[in-house]
């Protein structure tokens, strides 16, 4: 039962967080935000939309910063903000309540719980992961050919002013948090909000995934910087990237193939760059040939870089990610063919590994669609 406008803090508040680094003037701590809402017109489809608004609302607060999504969220409060009097997470909860109720009138009652107790967060995480997995599973029941409407999201334009995320049944948002069903719910709940309907329009190129409706929105939302977008290719007119993407698909010239690196991987990729270094080059709302910020669920999509060879053109993935997607990689006979950091730490080692295992792309067994 919801106690309207209640804010609860479970765990230490801002001033009590430990350990505190005197030299840095702060520290790094676990955090979880629970938003409970009720309303006569609310349904389950609104869940991901309400969740994702935390990103936008937090970034409206001077001195606060919010990046990423789901279980990989990163929130920061500046020292200046704290010095000026923002010294309790209760204030953060109160701001959320104000913004939710003013921007989403469909919400009739709301309470916010902010958790910094690490054990409590660990208890809640498995359930959250189950919810996220169920959303992703549901989204796999549709294909782009089955619908007449796509959806666009500009929640990240404060970071990437020329970026718009095109969301289709076969293409989750770059952040991995909004699928096609979520986009439909968001556009219905808040027609003037940051997530909106896109008439699919004419299918110009079924291989690369070029649609007239997506091109029109790309031209409008990128402020005229781009007027074409391929949804199924990393070349020529690739999708723009914001900064909240879960992973990066990157071209490896020496292998004429692609690698994938996700945000949680802290080591160097096979090309000698870390995720954070690549992210700085890839983000900002730019179209960069051979670079795609992407949601991880895309690795399961039948349209994933379809024009470029799909999963069969992937040659390097961090071990943890290989294990996470072992089912789909094994189904395509690729699990043992793709290198990880355990198999190759540089391009020379990668090429040797690919030759040893007989990767289908290097053997010329993968035919690009025409």
Most confident of 187-191, 210-214, 221-225: 210-214
Residue 34 within a domain: yes
Q: List all residues 6 or more positions away from 162 whose beta carbon is below 8 Å from its beta carbon.
A: 221, 222, 223, 225, 226, 240, 284, 285, 286
For residue 167, tell me if it sits in a domain.
no
The pTM score is 0.79
Residue 243 has a pLDDT of 82
The residue segments making up the domain with residue 69 are 6-139
Whether residue 287 lies inside any domain: the answer is no
**pLDDT tens-digit series, residues 5-18:** 999 999 999 988 88
Q: What is the mean pLDDT of residues 24-48?
A: 88
Do the domain assignments include residue 297? no
| Residue 370 pLDDT level (bands cut at 50, 70, 90) | confident
Predicted confidence at residue 242, as pLDDT, reads 86
Flag the least confident range among 167-171, 188-192, 361-365: 188-192
Q: Which residues contact 327 (CB under 8 A, 6 or more apart)?
A: none
How many domains is the chain built from? 1
Tell me if 24 is assigned to some domain.
Answer: yes
CATH number reported for the structural domain that contains residue 17 in this entry: 3.30.1650.10
pLDDT class of 274 with cuts at 50, 70, 90: very high
Identify whether 319 is part of a domain: no
Residue 102 has pLDDT above 80, yes or no: yes
The answer as to whether 37 is a domain residue is: yes
Cβ neighbourhood burial of 34 (10 Å; 0-12, 13-18, 19+) = middle
Question: For residue 54, is it within any domain?
Answer: yes
Average pLDDT over residues 62-79: 89
């Amino acid at each position: 039962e919801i106690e309207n406008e209640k804010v609860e803090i479970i765990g230490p508040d801002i001033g009590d967080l430990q350990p505190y680094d005197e030299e840095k003037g702060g520290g790094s701590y676990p955090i979880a935000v629970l938003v409970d809402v009720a309303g006569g017109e609310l349904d389950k489809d609104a869940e991901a939309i309400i969740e994702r608004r935390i990103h936008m609302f937090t970034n409206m607060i001077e001195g606060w910063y919010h990046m990423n999504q789901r279980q990989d969220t990163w929130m920061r409060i500046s020292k200046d903000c704290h010095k000026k009097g923002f010294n309790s997470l209760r204030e953060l909860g109160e701001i959320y309540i104000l913004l939710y109720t003013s921007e989403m009138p469909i919400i009739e009652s709301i309470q916010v719980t902010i958790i910094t107790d690490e054990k409590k967060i660990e208890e809640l995480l498995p359930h959250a992961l189950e919810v996220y997995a169920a959303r992703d599973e549901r989204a796999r029941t549709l294909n782009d050919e089955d619908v007449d409407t796509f959806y666009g999201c500009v929640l990240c334009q404060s970071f990437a002013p020329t970026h718009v995320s095109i969301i289709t049944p076969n293409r989750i948002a770059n952040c991995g948090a909004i699928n096609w069903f979520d986009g439909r719910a968001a556009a219905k709940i808040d027609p003037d909000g940051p997530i909106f309907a896109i008439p699919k329009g004419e299918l110009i190129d079924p291989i690369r995934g070029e649609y007239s409706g997506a091109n029109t929105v790309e031209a409008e939302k990128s402020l005229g910087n781009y007027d074409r977008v391929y949804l199924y290719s990393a070349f020529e007119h690739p999708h723009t990237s914001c900064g909240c993407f879960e992973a990066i698909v990157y071209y490896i010239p020496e292998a004429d193939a692609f690698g994938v690196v996700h945000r949680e991987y802290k080591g160097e990729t096979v090309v000698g760059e870390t995720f954070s270094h690549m992210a700085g080059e890839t983000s900002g709302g730019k179209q960069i040939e051979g670079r795609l910020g992407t949601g991880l669920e895309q690795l399961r999509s039948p349209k994933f870089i379809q024009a470029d060879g799909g999963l069969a053109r992937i040659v390097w993935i961090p071990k943890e990610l290989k294990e996470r997607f072992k089912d789909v990689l094994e189904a395509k006979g690729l699990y043992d063919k793709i290198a990880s950091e355990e198999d190759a730490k540089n391009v020379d080692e990668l090429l040797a590994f690919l030759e040893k295992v007989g990767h289908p792309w290097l053997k010329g067994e993968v035919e690009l669609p025409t």
